[in-house]
Amino acid sequence: MDGQDYKVVFTKMTTAPLELEAEKIATLPEPDHVVVNHYAQVKNARQTQAEDLVRYFHKTFHGVEAHEPQVKETNQALTLVSQYGLEKAKYLSLLQNSATNPSAKQQF
């Protein structure tokens, strides 16, 4: 054993229902936004720039403020960032949108 294994035991049984009074129920404040931290994934600078490009794309073309980049779109953005750099890739995405039908939904 490496000392990092844990054992969890669940016991299934019936209990009497708990009746809580309304004033005793604690309410949590609503967060402004949810932050998802993937600590297991170590990201390099290009990976972070690719994710920033995907977020920029979704914010610019879809009006989405908080987007969690998917693997496929991040890989496509990584290709652009590796070839052209972040600023040129952003400019290329703007050019692509102006050259295509503005009423069509863009896919990254």
pLDDT of residue 104: 47
What string of pLDDT tens digits covers the 108 residues of the chain? 567 777 888 887 776 556 655 555 566 667 677 777 767 767 788 999 999 999 998 888 888 888 899 999 999 999 999 999 999 998 888 777 666 655 545 444
pLDDT of residue 76: 92
Domain locations along the chain: 39-99
pLDDT of residue 20: 54
pLDDT of residue 61: 82
Q: Give dist(CA 45, CA 51) in Å, integer.
A: 10
- By the 8 A CB rule, do 51 and 74 touch? yes
pLDDT of residue 49: 93
> What are phi and psi for residue 17, nearest 5 degrees?
-65, 140
On whether the pTM is more than 0.85, the answer is no
Q: Give dist(CA 74, CA 52) in Å, integer.
A: 9
pLDDT of residue 62: 82
pLDDT of residue 84: 92
